[in-house]
Amino acid sequence: MRAAIALVGPADDLTLVEPAPGGAPPRLVEESGQIDALREGADAVLPPDADATLIRLAGEAAAAGLAVMPRATLRLLMELLDGSLEGRRPADGPDLTVREREVLRHVAEGASNKEIARRLGISAHTVKFHVASILDKLDSTGRVDAVAQAARLGLILL
């Protein structure tokens, strides 16, 4: 598999480096075009200061079927996804509320009810209520099972 890699940044400020052996040459894109680069088939979006080693590793990861991108790009994709799924649910998935999805994401990060309450500005009792509702809707036996079910249904990314 040939990995398509996009280096993100102002085009006049980038230096091309050699791609991973057998990989597609890196393509330069403006920072605002990183999501478009992923839509167009880029397997990796890397910062402009990516060295040959990072490009090689990204190529190897892409060849293994993984996508590589900066955390900021992933957060942007998650925000776009959350906005596009507002009020929707997968056809065969549970009908989780927006708040339940927020709580579920924190549960997936391993946060306790008290931590989730503090992060969301709600009471620990309310978090406990949401977690119980999530477990019921996902037909889960516990928090770990709920996260596994949610990941399988595409409700969260791990």
Residues 13 and 63 in one domain: yes
SS3 (DSSP) at 46: strand
Q: 28-63 pLDDT, tens per residue?
A: 666 667 777 777 777 788 776 777 788 778 778 877
78 found inside a domain: no
Same domain, 97 and 131: yes
pLDDT given at position 87: 47
98 and 64 in a common domain: no
Whether residue 55 is found in the same domain as residue 96? no
Residue 77 lies in a domain: no
Q: Are residues 44 and 90 located together in one domain of the fold? A: no
The answer to whether residue 111 is domain-embedded is yes
Q: Are residues 89 and 138 in the same domain?
A: yes
The 10s digit of each residue's pLDDT in 105-144 is 999 999 999 999 998 899 999 999 999 999 999 999 999 9
pLDDT of residue 116: 93
Q: Which helix (H) or strand (E) holds 5?
A: strand 5-8
- In terms of Cβ atoms closer than 10 Å to its own Cβ (0-12, 13-18, 19+), residue 122 is middle
Residue 124 lies in a domain: yes
80 within domain boundaries: no
The one-letter code for the residue type at 24 is A
Domain assignment of residue 20, given as a range? 5-69
The CATH number of the domain where 130 resides is what?
1.10.10.10
Measured CA to CA, the distance from residue 22 to residue 153 in angstroms comes to 34
61 and 115 part of one domain: no
**Counting beta carbons within 10 angstroms of the beta carbon of residue 94, is it exposed (0 to 12), middle (13 to 18) or buried (19 or more)?**
middle
Measure the CA–CA gap between 111 and 117, rounded to whole angstroms: 10
Q: Are 50 and 7 in contact (CB under 8 A)?
A: yes
Rounded mean pLDDT, 137-157: 88
Same domain as 59, residue 28: yes
Structure tokens at 136: 């019921």
For 19-132, strand residue ranges (E) read 27-29, 44-46
Q: Are residues 95 and 62 in the same domain?
A: no
Burial class (CB in 10 A: 0-12, 13-18, 19+), 136: exposed
Cβ pair 24, 3 in contact under 8 A? yes
Report which of 65, 53, 73 is spatially closest to residue 8, judged by C-alpha positions. Answer: 73
Q: Domain boundary residue among 36, 69, 102?
A: 69
Q: Where are the alpha helices (DSSP H) in 64-96?
A: 71-84
Give domain status of residue 158, yes or no.
no
| Total number of domains in the chain | 2
